[in-house]
Structure 1
Amino acid sequence: MPDLDTPAAVWVAADHELGEGPRWVDGRLVYTDILAGRLLEVPDPARPAARELLCLDVPLGAVAPVEGRPGHWIAAAGPGLALLGPDGRTEWLARPEEGGATAMRMNDGVCDPQGRFWAGSMAYDCTPGAGSLYRVDRDGSVHRVLTGLTIANGPAFSADGRVMYVADSAAGLILRCTLSGDGSLLDREEFARTGAACSPDGMTVDTEGRLWVAVWGGSAVHRYAPDGTLDATVRLPVPQPTSVCLPPSGGLLLVTTARIGLTGDAGWSGSVLAVPVDAAGTEAMAYRGA
């Protein structure tokens, strides 16, 4: 298991409490600061600096672009799934985590190659087993696909959309799920474990089918071969990397990070880091809703 001997650097200097959900959209990085409800972009990768696109009055876990509607997003936000307009107008598709005995919020989310949006949930107090994974179909209907998760993270998809990786961060577990053409879950199996001292967080699949996973508490990004073998580790100078993005042009790994829970000098935590790597990803898949 070699380390990728490439030092990280600050790409966007920031103090985000919980930076997350980095996606490459129309030639720029888009990401969130979850608990602040902020959607941010880096419009010029040659001179990286973040600017705010939207700010909601609820936590904003992750977004995906809506096909054919520039400036519109589908979002995992607050207790549910919503469509967001350029002015921040929110059209709720469903709020399945609202009103329960346990206070819940949505977490990470992404679209699959078929244009459906998937997002996970978690309890604010990390109640074991309270989280779920949801799928938003192209007709706007919302379906609970997995239950019994504690902190649902990811997911990430193979190029054909038939394999989905999803993490239960609190369990240190990454699942590999096989999907039918309509997005139904056919089976699931353990793909990898990070160990008890650290947690798999946001993830992405590169153009060679390898899974890159931010490891919260591990100061690292893990790269897994398609058979689940941990084949490389990227060491980072921050304790809480949250998610990863591989731009389509290749050669760069972008990592969001968090300052939440840290005291004293948190160093680069809260910034977006960049690491030279020999890998490439794809543009973020769009939601192809009616």
Structure 2
Amino acid sequence: MTQSKAAGTVQRSEPQSVWSLGGPLLEGPAWVERDAALWFVDIKSRRIHRFDPAGGDKRSWDAPGQVGFVLPIAGGGFVAGLQEGLFRFDERDGSFTELARPEPDQPGNRLNDATVDPNGRLWFGSMDDGEIAKSGAIYRLAADGSCVPSSPLCSITNGPAVSPDGRTLYHVDTLHGIIHACALEEDGRLTGRREFARIPSTEGYPDGPTVDAEGCVWVGLYAGWGAKRFAPSGELLETVCFPVSAVTKLAFGGPNLTTVYATTANKHLKPEEREREPQAGDLFAFEVSVPGLPSAEISVGV
């Protein structure tokens, strides 16, 4: 791990596998406080997973399509982002009920990553499932249930993530290695989009972002063997190294929000490479000294 002198020591333990899944594409970790568990997905295996670190319980559900994220609704249940659109997911019976289809004219797209802002609004991204065409975008789920496009088109979107004060939204253009920052207005509009940070492809591709209590942006690195932490100014503060090459996203959890969970992937690996990365596609965890932010629940548009 590298770090700036001003940042101090944040990482307090090495990343360790806590659930040996060997999944092709784990994504979207989210700590759900109401049941003190981490929820995440395996996009390509079409599975939703729940990990209870205190009790050790591990549960999984089948999804009816590729599932990019699952986030809690205020009052119970979840919103799942499937290839076709947004669905209400009820973990009690494993059912899915359609809510919205943001891109009915883009059958080659799928939903990929998401977050909930402090006002209870769901923000999510779409992308080309083939990872080539510039056909994806960032959306906001509006109060009337419609999906509002809120970014330029992009091949692979990741994020968004929101600053502690709710005034800045970050989203990622993975193929171009850019983390964008926008002003998040009270009415949900994004203004003043700018380049927050750029990661050269030699260091991996920025994947899912999250934000800690100091407003620093953490981003997983696909094909980069780790994750990076940036100051609110965009300065690189540190890099956390992993024993696997593809780290897709981080999430803070645990009773003090000082455990960082990380999803990883192995779909990019050839058979001989998988032998060298036996933990690729597992769920990892490590401890930090700066906590994350309490997760919000979706209360708008559902």
Query: TM-score, with normalisation over the residues of structure 1?
Result: 0.92
Question: CA deviation digits over 1:171-213, x for unaligned, max 9?
Answer: 1010001111011112100000111232111111111111111
> Is the Cα contact below 8 Å between 1:11 and 1:48 reproduced in 2?
no
Is the aligned partner of 1:225 residue 2:231? yes
What secondary structure, in the 3-state scheme, does the structure 1 residue paired with 2:137 have? strand
- Whichever residue aligns with residue 124 of structure 2, its letter is A
Residue deviations 1:115-140, cap 9 Å, x none? 11111111111124211111102332
Does residue 51 of structure 1 match 2:59? yes
Counterparts of 2:291 and 2:109 in 1: how far apart (Å)?
Answer: 34
Q: 1:257 aligns with which of 260, 264, 278?
A: 264
CA distance in structure 1 between the partners assigned to 2:82 and 2:171 by the alignment:
18
* Residues 49 and 14 of structure 1, relative CA distance in 2, 3 Å threshold: farther
Q: Does 1:168 align with 2:188?
A: no
For residue 76 of structure 1, what is the amino acid of its counterpart?
A: G
CA contact (8 A) 1:63 1:110 kept: no
Q: Given that residues 217 and 231 in structure 2 are in contact (C-alpha distance below 8 angstroms), is that contact kept between their aligned partners in structure 1?
A: yes
Counterpart of 1:245 in structure 2 is: 251
* Percent of aligned pairs with the same amino acid: 34
Gaps of 5+ in 2: 5-10
Query: Are 2:219 and 2:249, in contact at CA under 8 Å, matched by a contact in 1?
Result: yes
Q: How does 1:122-141 map to 2 (within 5 A)?
A: 122-141=127-146
Equivalent position of 1:62 in the other structure:
69
Instruction: Check 1:249–1:283 CA distance in 2 against 1; reply closer, same or farther (3 A cut).
Output: same
Say whether the 8 Å CA contact 1:177–1:186 is kept in structure 2. yes
Which secondary structure does the structure 2 equivalent of 1:284 belong to? coil
Distance 2:15 2:55 in 1: 17
Tell me what 2:209 maps to: 203
Once the two structures are superposed, residues 18-55 of structure 1 have per-residue CA deviations (whole angstroms, 9 ceiling, x without a partner) of 11110110211111111222111112x13545311x31
In structure 1, C-alpha distance between the alignment counterparts of 2:95 and 2:57, rounded to whole Å = 25
Q: How does 1:66-85 map to 2 (within 5 A)?
A: 66-69=73-76, 72-85=77-90
CA–CA distance in 1 between the matches of 2:84 and 2:132?
15
1:99 is displaced (CA, Å) by 4.0
Q: Which residue of 1 aligns with 2:16?
A: 9
| Residue in structure 2 matched with residue 189 of structure 1 by the alignment | 194
CA distance in 2 between partners of 1:176 and 1:34 (Å): 26
Structure 1 Cα separation of the partners of residues 188 and 144 of structure 2? 13
Cα shift at 1:106: 0.7
Considering only aligned residues, what root-mean-square deviation do their CA atoms show, in Å? 1.8
In the alignment, the residues of structure 2 paired with residue 13 and residue 168 of structure 1 have an alpha-carbon distance, to the nearest angstrom, of: 29
**SS, match of residue 80 in structure 2:** strand
